[in-house]
Amino acid sequence: MPLDVVVLAAGLGKRMRSDLPKVLHPLAGRPLLAHVIDTARTLAPRKIFVVHGHGADRVRAAFPDSGLDWVLQAPQRGTGHAVMQALPQVSPAADVLILYGDVPLVRVETLKRLLEGAREGLAILTAELADPSGYGRIVRDGARRVARIVEQNDATASELAIGEVNAGFFCLSARRLAPWLSKIGNDNAQKEYYLTDLVALAVADAVPVVALKVDDQWEVAGVNSTQELATLADPARIDVRGALECGRDVSIDVNCVFEGRVSIGDNVRVGPNCVLKNVSIGAGTEVLAFSHLDDAEIGERCRVGPFARLRPGAHLAREVHIGNFVEVKASRLGAGSKANHLSYIGDSEVGNAVNIGAGTITCNYDGAAKHRTVIEDECFIGSDATLVAPVRIARGSYIGAGSTISKDTPPGQLTVARARQVSIPSWKPPRKKG
């Protein structure tokens, strides 16, 4: 008998707190839905129907030339309604396997068991959970046969105490599915058409319901929030030693440490092996590998690292770049300013659109007191410049590479302060004795 697979992937996923359709959230570098489709393909089905709705264009675009059959569910009125949309394209002679686009870890062996169970009637997967909150409960009769599935919002107190839950996977013949779908109603708390009503309809028609309980709960665990997906490359390799607050679509790589109070805005990416302590990071910023940020404030769309260090009192406005082996301490950098290589910026006020060349140092400590360096807007500081505080680099100044600047500069002019180059033709290198 041929097999048709229906993958339900239309949900909004409100708890993901993301603009990205839930089934496109990445797991191990690929969308959740991709893992489900790959598993389905190992069963050699005749067709794979993907029922999509929220973010339909983005979902289809993520799988170009994939050989999938796309079915639009608009509006979304529940899982039963979703399968109804695909039913006209399902072969009447096929077995139908129903999967979920946000449940990516189910094993092929488990699905094969489900297909085998469907030979007797309706096969479903269940799991035993210590905390079954949010799941439909498996209600059994006195003979321990499955009688029905009750959704949490419709369950009584005694039904809520049941630990065996519906994992959501169904398998049955299309000839049984079609008439049962036509009988599903929406007389429930959500006013939706529940696919779980298939169980009660099967029982009413004296069709056996085969409930296969999985041994590993994670296999049928769905992704309903970024906490469950983790937005982490590896949840086992993160150390949170204080309070970590994340926005939408945040990505955190391995071996990061968060101390004190850390606030991360939307669409922020934190690379591997970073340490963040008492830091706030604006939306769209990227912190690259091996960066150490301490008591710092970072604006939107900044780029920090790799191997950057922000010490206490560092404040970056929007779109600031702090590159590899750059250290910033007790300083403010204005919008669009950049220090991309090998520099120290301490006790400084840096304006907007300033370019600080490689090897630049602000000499802020005279052995007894700290002094301020002020770099006004649109200045260009050449490589290997030394700025001896207190000093003011006026707006639009251009500092020649290798200069030592100890006096205020005039605006809009090139300032060069370096020793005259001398070559000595008669010079000879010293030689070792012996």
| Three-class secondary structure of residue 358 per DSSP | coil
Q: Are 27 and 103 in contact (CB under 8 A)?
A: no
Joined together, the tokens standing for residue 178 give: 């079609």
Q: Which residue has the tokens 């169970």?
A: 117
Residues contacting residue 433 through CB under 8 Å, at least 6 positions apart: none
Q: Are 208 and 244 in contact (CB under 8 A)?
A: no
C-alpha–C-alpha distance, residues 398 and 20, integer Å: 45
**Residues with active-site annotation:** 341
Q: Are 321 and 336 in contact (CB under 8 A)?
A: no
Residue 319 has a CB neighbour count (10 Å cut-off) of: 20
| Three-class secondary structure of residue 354 per DSSP | coil
C-alpha–C-alpha distance, residues 428 and 35, integer Å: 70
Task: State the greatest distance between any 2 C-alpha atoms of the chain, in Å, as a whole number.
Answer: 109
* List of E strands, 23-136: 26-27, 30-31, 47-52, 69-72, 95-100, 122-128
Residues contacting residue 352 through CB under 8 Å, at least 6 positions apart: 317, 334, 335, 336, 337, 377, 378
Q: Which residue has the tokens 């008492």?
A: 278
* List of E strands, 282-337: 286-287, 292-298, 303-304, 309-310, 314-316, 321-324, 327-329, 332-333
Q: Are 416 and 400 in contact (CB under 8 A)?
A: yes
What interhelical angle do 197-204 and 174-183 show, nearest 10? 110
